[in-house]
Amino acid sequence: MRYFAYILALLAGSALSFEGAIYAELGKTIGQLETSFYNFFMGSIIMGLLWLFFGKGKLSYAVEAPKWSILGGVLGVVYLTSIVISVPFVGVGITMVAVIIGQLVMSMVIEHYGWLGSKKTRINKEKIFAVISMIMALILIN
Amino acid sequence: MGIFMILFTLLGGITLSAQSSINGTLSRKAGTIETTFLTFITGSMFLAIFILFFGQGNVLGILEAPKWQLSAAFLGTMYLLLTVMAVPKIGVIATNIAGIIGQLVIGMLIDHFGWFGSLVISFDLKRSFALLFMVIALYFIYKGNKRSSKESCA
């Protein structure tokens, strides 16, 4: 079951790459913010349908949940916007490296302290090695 | 200006990992599909406001865009849904590392073949070493995670 979750995450990343390449084309014709909006808008429709047919959870929990826990959507928008703004200044390569490093270091800090309701798991040698290897890979790709 | 932009982009990465942990937490009580749905709805609302004030493109261009470009929305949805599913099982860092590796591998593939009108950058020795490092990273994160879950059980 654990293996399976790793495969899901790998798949998620591959979807993101295809998406990015295709949206780059779409962005040229309709604009980048508009492309992001299209993505979120269509995503809402797709997930709305999935929820109607397969939703087993409790959507109404969103109303009683602590407010910080429903900020996911806004954060996604901040992420997209930061990329759209910085690519013209520093290029795609440096933008991606900076995003990924920010993401990796922050994930480690979040888990170490168990912030934002995540399960608290301490940083260990292996995790630091993993992040260093990722940074090496990024340098080699660029 | 350059340095400022890089810091700004680092912030982008930070918000993305914050998003995956927040969504992981919400999904435990609200459900996976429900959490993804909410993320998309609130995201569209914010972007709608953004576009009204700062949009310079043409939203209605969507109607004339080639359909294959529009199909990317299914991929975007898949990404978020799969991330929400993986975080509660293997944690934020493992989900992000595995996700980034999937992204980079497919990115190199797209570059190599020049798919979707991208610039052709062929797969060379440097990139095969990069691939090797990613495999090493995946191995370490798997091992590191196993060790910390053992420690938390003990």
Domain boundaries, chain B: 2-37+66-153
- Residues of B with Cβ-Cβ distance to A55 under 8 angstroms: 31, 33-34, 37
Q: Within 13 A of A112's CA, how many CA atoms are on the CB side?
A: 11
Phi (first) and psi of residue A122, to 5 degrees: -65, 150
- B10–chain A Cβ distance below 8 A for any pair: yes
In angstroms, the separation between the Cα of residue A15 and the nearest Cα of chain B is: 5
pLDDT of residue B152: 64
Long-range contacts of B45-51 (CB under 8 A, 24+ apart): B45/A73, B46/A73, B46/A74, B46/A77, B47/A33, B47/A36, B47/A37, B47/A40, B47/A41, B47/A77, B48/A37, B50/A33, B50/A37, B50/A77, B50/A81, B51/A33, B51/A34, B51/A37
- Distance of CA A73 to CAs A77, B85, B96, B127, Å? 7, 16, 17, 34
C-alpha radius of gyration, chain A, whole number: 18
Asked if B93 contacts A104 with a C-beta cutoff of 8 angstroms, the reply is yes
Q: Which residues in chain A (43-102) have CB-CB distances under 8 A to chain B? A: 43-44, 46-48, 50-51, 54-59, 61-62, 65, 68-79, 81-83, 85-86, 89-90, 94-95, 98-102
- What is the residue-wise DSSP string for A2-65? HHHHHHHHHHHHHHHHHHHHHHHHHHHHH-HHHHHHHHHHHHHHHHHHHHHHH--S-TTHHHHS
Asked if B86 contacts A8 with a C-beta cutoff of 8 angstroms, the reply is yes
Tell me: pLDDT of A87 over 80.
no
Tell me: pLDDT of A99 over 60.
yes
- pLDDT tens sequence across B55-79: 888 888 888 888 888 988 999 899 8
- Residues of B with Cβ-Cβ distance to A25 under 8 angstroms: 69, 116-117
ipTM of the modeled complex = 0.85
Q: Which two tokens stand for residue A125?
A: 């040698």
The count of CB pairs under 8 A between chains A and B is 445
In angstroms, the separation between the Cα of residue B122 and the nearest Cα of chain A is: 11
- pLDDT tens sequence across B76-128: 899 889 998 898 888 888 888 888 888 888 888 888 888 887 778 888 888 89
Tell me: pLDDT of A1 over 70.
no
**Sign of torsion over alpha carbons A79, A66, B83, B149:** positive
Q: Do A13 and B99 touch (CB under 8 A)?
A: yes
Comparison of pLDDT for A134 and A81, the residue scoring more: A134
Phi (first) and psi of residue B77, to 5 degrees: -70, -40
**Mean pLDDT in residue range A107-111:** 87
Comparison of pLDDT for A45 and A2, the residue scoring more: A45
Q: Do A134 and B70 touch (CB under 8 A)?
A: no
